[in-house]
Amino acid sequence: MGWVMGVTYLSALVFLASIVYEHGFRISEAEENWLQGIYKTVWGIFLISTTVQIVFRQEEGKSKFTGWAWVLFALLYLTLLPVVFHRPDQTEGVYGVWMFFHHPYYRMAILFFLSLFYLSSSLVRLLGRRTNPSLILAVSFLVLILIGSGLLMLPRCTYHGISWLDALFTATSATCVTGLVTVDVSSTFTLGGQIIIILLIQIGGLGVMTLTSFFAMFFMGNTSLYNQLAVRDMISSNSLNSLLSTLLYILGFTLMIEGVGMALIWLSIHNTMGMTLDEELYFAAFHSISAFCNAGFSTLPGNLGNSLVMQNHNLLFITVSFLIILGGIGFPILVNLCRTVMYYLRYWKWKLFGRSSRFPKQVHLYNLNTKIVLIMTTVLLVVGTLVILVYEWNHAFAGMPILDKWVHAFFNAVCPRTAGFCSVGLTTLSTQTVLFMILLMMIGGGTQSTAGGVKINVFAVILLNLWAVIRGSERVAIFHRELSSESVRRSHAVLSLYLIVAFVAVFAMTLIEPEASVMAIVFECVSALSTVGSSLDLTPLLSPMGKGVIIFLMFVGRVGAFTLLLGLVKQEAKKNYKYPKDDLIIN
């Protein structure tokens, strides 16, 4: 079985590479025939491999696959119908059925899903080898970035070509949902290139391991116990029993929110930008995904500060703002809110039928993480909107109607958390607003979200610990809950590591880019490390070494410096002894 699966995994890779070659290059007729031969070979290998797995499917007396896997296998075997049976006459009733299963698109779709199934299952199996999950997470993002940069360099993805460094920069920015770009997206990348960018954003926003874990568990079930524990930690599930449901919630929320956002964006721009219906739908889909994933990419020159949308498009800016907020509060919060809504719906259903007295009541509907994130998010948005409004009322927002000023103040308070859209030139903002934006970028969004930064949770814990120290309290508590010492320690470690990385990057950039102002460099480095994507117009002017520093910061910011170190540094074994305690003079 081992060598069979090895050949299967290799065939899946060859199949996906062949699709990339076919659609990324302009190929001759001979190359087309050669590719069709590869597809038929992969099809045959998958048939043999599937048959072997079905014969030896028993593993410890239990089936290895879920019902959906059997459906996928059945669809694969149906591709044999046109081979076994001759083509019927058009007058016969089965002609349409025969043509459907004979169609190359059907076979290619089945081979594509099988390739994803086998590759995702192999990746999840790596967790069963007790590989460090933090390291796998970092490597998965790195591999996706390298694949993305290669795809963006394909001839059909750009109008006039692109350098490897700019392709790497764009792929890193998209995968790490940052939004910083060294080239203009609309004039550099074709429709195919832009689709690759939005796919990188979607995969990077959800997380490579989230998607592969869902795909593998959806078709394979709950694999090994260690796999389940590793996946549970990565998606912050409450229990092993809720793993698949949590993954379904994550994907369901994403598709639903992005779908509603797409509809609202389309309504806000319909018949206002001189686009065809297809172009409007594509614009709406691209910006909805980019906003929810906190990426900040736009197909408009000048981002959302383009003259086409700056007037009479408040619905667009409000929709994008709330997509950013929903993507930035974190999937665990969305899951908790959804379950709370479902709880109240069930309660009112029981009450409607007069059985509310027997309804199984739940005491703590909102967990502590949800309360902290929602309160801190609200505070930061309100304060940010007011600060920007005060400093830019007669500055960057001068000449705008009053309603537009409020909308753009709210929009520019949302974007630093951490989506790099912009409606006004950031270089036109006052120094005070820029400094406040740097603070917002550092804080970022919620944990387990598409946002970056040190995270709201960490910032809240640090403030609570500061207040406890000032009051002389030995415990850090909120909402009648005491925070664990581990949470406090990790929060301070995350902030300390963030500041160290940011300082080193800023120091290095002052040497690499001596002509740039310190403010622009600090803003650029914090924006990259927090995966924000905002810039004081420094990104297109960066030297190759400067681009390399920003690429590194974007990668570290998305994976997490703390997570990255956990994957690289060997963890200390638990010790059964303690050293004598002593105190340092602090103040």
Residue (of 144, 119, 257) closest to 200 by Cα position: 144
- Secondary structure element (H or E) that encloses residue 173, with its range: helix 164-175
Q: What is the pLDDT of residue 477?
A: 83
Which whole-number Å values give the CA distances from 459 to 261, 372, 528, in the listed order?
29, 10, 19
First to last CA, the chain: 66
Q: Indicate the domain borders of the chain.
A: 1-127, 359-568
Q: What is the pLDDT of residue 533?
A: 85
User: What span, in angstroms and rounded, lies between the C-alpha atoms of 79 and 47?
Assistant: 10
> Residue 454: phi, psi to the nearest 5?
-75, -15
Q: What are the per-10-residue average pLDDT scores of the chain (587 residues)?
A: 77 89 84 89 88 67 63 85 80 77 87 83 63 72 89 90 92 90 89 91 75 55 52 53 64 87 92 88 93 88 84 90 88 79 77 67 74 90 93 89 92 86 88 92 83 87 90 83 84 90 94 92 93 89 93 89 73 73 74
Which whole-number Å values give the CA distances from 376 to 348, 382, 477, in the listed order?
30, 10, 16
Contact 187, 306 (CB under 8 A): no
Residue that is written with structure tokens 């924006």 in the block: 527
What is the number of other CB atoms lying within 10 angstroms of the CB of residue 358? Answer: 8
Contact 300, 308 (CB under 8 A): yes
- Secondary structure element (H or E) that encloses residue 14, with its range: helix 2-24
Query: What's at 321, amino acid-wise?
Result: S
Which whole-number Å values give the CA distances from 515 to 361, 392, 548, in the listed order?
64, 28, 17
What is the number of other CB atoms lying within 10 angstroms of the CB of residue 403? Answer: 9
Contact 69, 219 (CB under 8 A): yes
Alpha helices in 307-455 (DSSP H): 314-329, 331-352, 368-392, 402-414, 431-443
Q: What is the pLDDT of residue 60?
A: 43
pTM (two decimals) = 0.84
User: What span, in angstroms and rounded, lies between the C-alpha atoms of 263 and 519?
Assistant: 39
DSSP characters over 527-574 = HHHTT----SS-GGG--HHHHHHHHHHHHHHHH-HHHHHHHHSPPPPP
> Residue 12: phi, psi to the nearest 5?
-65, -40
Q: What is the pLDDT of residue 344?
A: 80
Record the tokens describing residue 283, joined without a space.
Answer: 């614009």
User: What span, in angstroms and rounded, lies between the C-alpha atoms of 44 and 50?
Assistant: 10
Record the tokens describing residue 426, joined without a space.
Answer: 């950031």
Q: What is the pLDDT of residue 139?
A: 79
Q: What is the pLDDT of residue 339?
A: 79
The DSSP code for 189 is B
Contact 322, 377 (CB under 8 A): no
Record the tokens describing residue 333, joined without a space.
Answer: 């919060």
Which SS3 state, helix, strand or coil, does residue 400 take? coil
- Secondary structure element (H or E) that encloses residue 197, with its range: helix 191-206
Residue 525: CB partners within 8 Å, gap ≥ 6? 502, 505, 506, 509, 549, 550, 553
User: What span, in angstroms and rounded, lies between the C-alpha atoms of 319 and 322?
Assistant: 5
DSSP characters over 255-284 = HHHHHHHHHHHHHHHTTTSS--HHHHHHHH
Record the tokens describing residue 484, joined without a space.
Answer: 């664990």
Q: What is the pLDDT of residue 235?
A: 52
Q: What angle do CA 22, 23, 27 make, to 5 degrees?
A: 50
